[in-house]
């Protein structure tokens, strides 16, 4: 198992070919994908094996230490979802933060714990200059995680993947310099 990051309660590791069932369980739950997949649609097993998993595996080849990371709960050893930490566009110093957890793992601070650790690692070790995160305004849990990870509100606008649903998205961001500055004031 290739570990990318370890926190108090989580291990973030690389996805492997064996994760199709895990990803299917995650993406076949309508509540999980409601504000996270295009059109809020669940995915079929074939979409996982033919599109999602190959894309995740390809990202490691393309970006090395950036990509989607499987989150494992240390206490149970179980897969609980994933964190995304990969180039927003082609700029390798601007990284998008994202997360998707199984419902059974919600509300325990896991998304905050993983996100804070990724932000720290990104700026301290991976040469990241800027981190961005985007969510639908209605996805209050996701927006709250951005805030708790130290990202600041930047703008809001319409979400192209939901043109018919009249949904606005918010963008949050954090620059390395601002993170370092804030860190020096921590107790």
Give the footprint of ligand COA on this chain (CB under 6 A).
32, 35-36, 99-101, 106-112, 135, 139-142, 144-145, 148
**Using CA atoms, how far apart are residues 41 and 38, in angstroms rounded to an integer?**
6
Task: Kindly report the three-state secondary structure assignment for every residue of 79-107.
Answer: EEEEEEEEECCCCCCEEEEEEEECHHHCC
Shortest Å distance, C-beta 147 to ligand COA: 8
Residue 68 vs 100, nearer CB to ligand COA: 100
Q: What are phi and psi of 36, to 5 degrees?
A: -120, -30
d(CA 83, CA 10) in angstroms, rounded, equals: 11
For ligand COA, which is the closer residue by CB, 38 or 107? 107
In the complex, the smallest distance separating the C-beta of residue 20 from ligand COA, rounded to whole angstroms, is: 19
Question: Which C-beta is closer to ligand COA: that of 156 or that of 177?
Answer: 156
Least distance in Å: CB of 184 to ligand COA?
A: 24
**Pick 111 or 119: Cβ nearer ligand COA:** 111
CA 119, CA 92: separation in Å to the nearest integer?
A: 15
CB of 57 to ligand COA, least distance (A): 21
Quote the CA–CA distance of 130 and 182 in Å, as a whole number: 14
């Amino acid at each position: 198992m290739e570990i990318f990051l370890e926190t108090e309660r989580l291990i973030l590791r690389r996805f492997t070919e064996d994760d199709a069932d895990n990803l299917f369980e995650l993406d076949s739950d309508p509540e999980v994908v409601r504000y996270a997949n295009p059109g809020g649609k669940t995915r079929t097993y074939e979409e996982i094996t033919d599109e999602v998993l190959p894309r995740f595996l390809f990202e490691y080849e393309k970006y090395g230490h950036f990509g989607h990371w499987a989150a494992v709960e240390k206490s149970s050893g179980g897969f609980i979802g994933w964190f995304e930490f990969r180039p927003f566009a082609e700029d390798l110093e601007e990284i998008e933060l994202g997360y998707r957890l199984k419902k059974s793992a919600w509300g325990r601070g896991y998304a905050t714990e993983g996100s804070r650790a990724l932000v720290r690692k990104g700026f301290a070790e991976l040469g990241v200059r800027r981190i961005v995160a985007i969510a639908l305004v209605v996805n209050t849990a996701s927006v709250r995680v951005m805030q708790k990870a130290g990202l600041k509100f930047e703008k809001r606008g319409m979400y192209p993947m939901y043109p018919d649903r009249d949904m606005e998205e918010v963008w949050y961001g954090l620059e390395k310099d601002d993170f370092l500055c804030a860190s020096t004031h921590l107790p």
